[in-house]
Amino acid sequence: MGTLVDARNIRGVYYTGGKDVVAVDDVSVKIEEGEVLGLAGESGSGKTTLGSIISLIARPPLHVEQGSLEIDGKVQELGGDAKVPRTWRGAVVSMLPQGAMNSISPTKRIRHLVYDVMRSHDRKVSKDEALDRARERITTLGLPARVLDAYPHQLSGGMKQRTVTIISTLLNPRLLVADEPTSALDVSSQKILIEMLLEMLEKKIMSGVIFITHDLPVLRTVATNIAVMYEGRVVERGPTERMVDDPQHPYTQALMSSVLAPEPKYRKIRIEGMSSFDRSLFDAPAVIHR
Amino acid sequence: MSAIFAAEHITKTFGRGRSQVQAVKDVSFALAEGQVTTIVGESGSGKSTIARLVLGLMPVTSGKMIFQGKDVTHLKGRARAEYWRDVQAVFQDPFSSFNQFFTVGTLLSRSMRLVGGKVGQQRLAESLGYVGMDLSVLGRYPHQLSGGQRQRVMIARALMMRPKLLIADEATSMLDASLRVNILNVLTDLRDELGMTILFITHDIGQACYLADRVLVMEHGVMVEQGRTDQVIFNPQHEYTKRLLADVPKLHEALELEELHEIVEPS
Amino acid sequence: MSLRGLPPRFWVSAALVGFIVLAAVIGPFIVQTDPNATVGGLYDRPRCCGAMLLGTDNEGQSVLANLVYGTRTSLIVGLLAGAIATVIGLLVGLVGGYRGGWIDDVLTAITNVGLAIPAIVVIILVSVSLPKRNIYTLALVIGLTAWFWVARAVRAQSSSVRTREHIDVARLSGAGFWSILARDVLPYLLSYVVMAFVLQVSGAILFESTLSMLGLGPGNATSLGTMLYWAIAWGSVRTGAWWAFVPPTLMLTLIVFALLLLQSSLNEVFNPRLRRGRAARKKAVTPGAPSEAPLVVGEPEPVGAVGMLETPTSTGREQR
């Protein structure tokens, strides 16, 4: 399988009044066809910013100073005043923002949302067409068709998140960027959402996923490769198992060791957390596994 | 070990008539002195409601709560202020538990009044010391602190009263994993060095496993299982606990996913 | 916040308000003419300079002198009534919203009844029945009928602040009811209170001039409304004596415009998200849609009061 997405040398800076904050500093990521790339990092690491740049929704005060995005062989400049074709957003790359399930309009039924999304790309699409497509998609992914007629508050958290995920991929984007899609969910709903995402990949609804989260155990389950970000840079990147079981970069090591799981060994040991003053942890050169 | 706090058949009902919701249904438990007890439950399980009931921040609908042999079910006014000297809390959100218009100093001096001026001054430095901070933090506003620092200030605030019982309601769930461990270690130190009783409320079984002496499991307002940590987590009896444990993603083994598909491996 | 960060609209409105206040405070000293003194004939045309700059009214009094004294009256009534309404509304809203329970039910019921009664009718009835009408009784009557909106906006805000964890922290720290209200709740809605006050002032000024135009104005003072009342009664519109009715009309318009502009620019100052333009308004997010706005949403919008305090001018601009 070939390369799906090749994002190169992305630099994203927030222009905030006085000083500029470099949120993403010369980051390149590649995603293969059928891959889930897990983007891990703690708050402020730049993972969400990178996700929004790749999904082409960077807005002031965030400015993309340089970088390019290649999808299916087509190259799109991102830096400066480069114009992104309208058709790319949503149809080629789609973003599922953090907390999306709680920001859908509470006064409208889900089917309105479906129609809005479809119509924003195709002015001529009829209501019936849009709904048929959504109904088919929803039922093949194991949700009851009645969610279309429900109001958001009538759905459970897990159900809502699955629904917005399906809606955000109605246009069959090549790449889905999902920002913390599981963070607000209970473990059981997390699992179902992950199962659904993988099924969607298998059904080629989309061909690749960037899964942004701080939750490493979730990435262990869903990701093909993991990239760990810190202070706007990718400090280590590689196949999931390698990253989890044998991390090389000291920051990744510290991150992995601070994960607590319900396993007997955690009953006996005392784990020391990270000290943000220990620069050696962060300044080590980046490690990229092949 | 004796119980410092006991809840007997407590129930909490919200709303009236048709829209009535029972958040906590006939729950009984005891907190052993000098131990960390953890309530584990998913959102909507009623675990945070229990925290607020134990704290006396909202009245129970029925049932009885006993602290150090005294009935504390319906405290009011001065008696409740007395109770809060012994029972303190740290909450979930390190942003919203701060009054953003207060410096750390203002926040702490407020609690100081509950224990009296002179004693308070002494305890101020002492409490900050326990959480690895010093007096230089007093002039800071919350937005000048990181999430972890804010949460440590909140623990220091609670410690100023030298509480016998500390309730931590999801106190670590909004922190990054690396900071989370630090806070959990502060809590275990408080138990080991001061003999403090801690009620730790979380949705994360991993944290419960790391920290707790005893675990209580809640589902939809009902306490479905309770016992020693090793028993509950490594030999769960109730269906719900078993499912919860099965669904927790683990770092070193892939979660077993259902249906036909498997994790797509890199090609 | 730094002064440089303030939006230009704020400076424009501040300059306008400053000009009006100067006209009301210093104006009388510059014009140096008794507004009740006869300085000319019936509707003398404006001529240069001094007291006759805007001609004379039906009684041969200087329109300019009446204008500056009238502005002063309007501002006094507006500020007093605005302060009364804001203080009562603030207290009722704070206590109801924070306390909840039956006290809230009662206060909300009173507020809703108050909102349902057309204030202007009450004011007219009360004004007619008052034995003596001066600017202070007028301000009191207007203030007492105008606090309901403030109460409702403040209640919505304070009941949402109540759910913040810092309130629990304050209670656990032993803080009392009033201490929590003043130190933990009030600061969070101060910006709304300031905006509500500005709106109340402009509303009260309009009420006062309406009453005065109907002949129910203060007996002892000139106001912009009474100027209009006499101008209409003495046929200035018919005879083309525009200087009798245009200046007070313009001044009223200017005052209300300046205050509404001030309010909407304050809204921008207090909610910097509005300044970031259209992005902030996109509340209902459509995932995956090629929206102009970023799909990343910030903290949830505060409930109620923002919308309630927004004037037509501000919404008009924001929705452009």
What's the CATH code of the domain at B139? 3.40.50.300
Q: Is B110 on the interface with C (CB under 8 A)?
A: yes
- Residue B90 confidence (pLDDT) above 60: yes
Q: CB within 8 A of C252, min separation 6: which ones?
A: C74, C205, C206, C209, C224
Q: How confident is the model at residue B219, as a pLDDT?
A: 93
Name the closest residue on chain C to residue A110, using Cα atoms: C286
Q: Is B155 on the interface with C (CB under 8 A)?
A: no
Q: How confident is the model at residue B166, as a pLDDT?
A: 95
Q: How do residues A135-190 score in pLDDT, each as one tens digit? A: 999 998 988 888 999 999 898 888 999 999 999 998 899 999 999 999 888 888 99
For chain A, domain boundaries: 3-100+173-288
Q: Which residue has the tokens 């949402």?
A: C160
Q: How confident is the model at residue C311, as a pLDDT?
A: 29
Give me chain A's average pLDDT, please. 87
Whether residue A2 contacts residue A33, with contact meaning beta carbons closer than 8 Å, is answered with: yes
Subunit partners of chain A (3 or more CB pairs within 8 A): B, C
- For B261, other C-beta atoms within 10 Å of its C-beta total 15
Whole-number Å distance between alpha carbons of B164 and A7? 55
Q: Is residue B13 assigned to a domain?
A: yes
Contacts of B210 in chain A (CB under 8 A): 260, 266-267, 271
Whether residue C79 contacts residue C20, with contact meaning beta carbons closer than 8 Å, is answered with: no
- Residue B160 confidence (pLDDT) above 50: yes
Whole-number Å distance between alpha carbons of A149 and A137? 15
DSSP secondary structure letter of residue A174: S
Name the closest residue on chain B to residue A259, using Cα atoms: B177
Q: How confident is the model at residue C272, as a pLDDT?
A: 62
- Residue B61 confidence (pLDDT) above 80: yes
ipTM of the complex: 0.85
Q: Is C48 on the interface with A (CB under 8 A)?
A: no
Q: Which secondary-structure segment (H or E) carries B184?
A: helix B177-194
CB contact under 8 Å between C294 and A57, yes or no, is yes
Q: Work out how many CB contacts closer than 8 A connect A with B.
A: 142
Q: How confident is the model at residue A50, as a pLDDT?
A: 93
Whether residue B213 contacts residue B228, with contact meaning beta carbons closer than 8 Å, is answered with: yes
Residue B168: closest CA among B65, B241, B93, B102: B93
Contacts of B96 in chain C (CB under 8 A): 164-166
Q: How do residues B102-113 score in pLDDT, each as one tens digit? A: 999 988 888 887
| Gap from B179 CA to chain A (nearest CA, Å) | 6
Q: Is A188 on the interface with B (CB under 8 A)?
A: yes
Q: How confident is the model at residue C287, as a pLDDT?
A: 40
| Gap from C150 CA to chain B (nearest CA, Å) | 23
Q: How confident is the model at residue C44, as a pLDDT?
A: 73
CB contact under 8 Å between B96 and C166, yes or no, is yes
Q: Is residue B144 assigned to a domain?
A: yes
Q: Which residue has the higher pLDDT, A25 or C279?
A: A25
Q: How do residues A196-242 score in pLDDT, each as one tens digit? A: 999 999 999 999 999 999 999 999 999 999 999 998 999 999 999 99
Number of domains in chain B: 1
Subunit partners of chain B (3 or more CB pairs within 8 A): A, C
Q: How confident is the model at residue B258, as a pLDDT?
A: 66
Q: How confident is the model at residue C27, as a pLDDT?
A: 81
Q: Is the alpha carbon torsion for C267, C272, C275, C277 positive or negative?
A: negative
Nearest neighbour of C174 by CB, restricted to B84, B93, B99: B84
Q: Which residue has the higher pLDDT, B253 or C8?
A: C8
B26 CB-contact burial (10 Å; exposed 0-12 / middle 13-18 / buried 19+): middle
CB contact under 8 Å between A57 and C289, yes or no, is no
Whole-number Å distance between alpha carbons of A221 and A219? 5
CB contact under 8 Å between A215 and B249, yes or no, is yes
Q: Is residue B227 assigned to a domain?
A: yes
Q: Which secondary-structure segment (H or E) carries C171?
A: helix C165-172
Q: Which residue has the tokens 């009941």?
A: C159
| Whole-number Cα distances in Å, C81 to A170, B237, C19, C88 | 56, 68, 21, 11
Whole-number Å distance between alpha carbons of B88 and B201? 14
Whole-number Å distance between alpha carbons of A44 and A230? 8
Contacts of B111 in chain C (CB under 8 A): 173-174
Split chain C (320 residues) into runs of 10 and give each run's mean pLDDT.
Answer: 71 90 84 76 73 75 85 91 95 92 92 88 82 85 90 92 90 89 91 90 90 81 85 81 85 91 84 50 37 32 31 31
Q: Work out how many CB contacts closer than 8 A connect A with C.
A: 72
Q: The domain A3-100+173-288: what is its CATH number?
A: 3.40.50.300
| Gap from B253 CA to chain A (nearest CA, Å) | 8
Q: HSE-up of A22 (CA within 13 Å, CB side)?
A: 12
Q: How confident is the model at residue C120, as a pLDDT?
A: 82
Whole-number Å distance between alpha carbons of C95 and C57? 50
CB contact under 8 Å between B88 and C164, yes or no, is no
Nearest neighbour of A271 by CB, restricted to B42, B181, B255: B181
Q: How do residues B170-194 score in pLDDT, each as one tens digit? A: 888 888 887 788 889 989 998 999 8
CB contact under 8 Å between A201 and B264, yes or no, is yes
Test the A interface: residue of C282, C283, C295, C303 with most A CBs within 10 Å? C295
Q: Is C47 helix (H, G, I), strand (E, B) or coil?
A: coil
Q: Is B104 on the interface with C (CB under 8 A)?
A: no
Express as a percent the part of chain A with pLDDT over 90.
36
Range of the domain at B54: 3-244
Q: Is A261 on the interface with B (CB under 8 A)?
A: yes
DSSP secondary structure letter of residue C268: H
Q: How confident is the model at residue C298, as a pLDDT?
A: 31
Q: Is residue B249 assigned to a domain?
A: no
Give me chain B's average pLDDT, please. 87
Q: Is A3 on the interface with B (CB under 8 A)?
A: no
Q: How confident is the model at residue B265, as a pLDDT?
A: 35
B204 alpha-carbon distance from chain centroid? 12
Test the C interface: residue of A103, A107, A169 with most C CBs within 10 Å? A103
Q: Is residue B127 assigned to a domain?
A: yes
In DSSP terms, which residues pair with C176 in a beta bridge? Answer: none
Name the closest residue on chain A to residue B261, using Cα atoms: A199
Nearest neighbour of B250 by CB, restricted to A1, A35, A217: A217
| Gap from C283 CA to chain A (nearest CA, Å) | 7
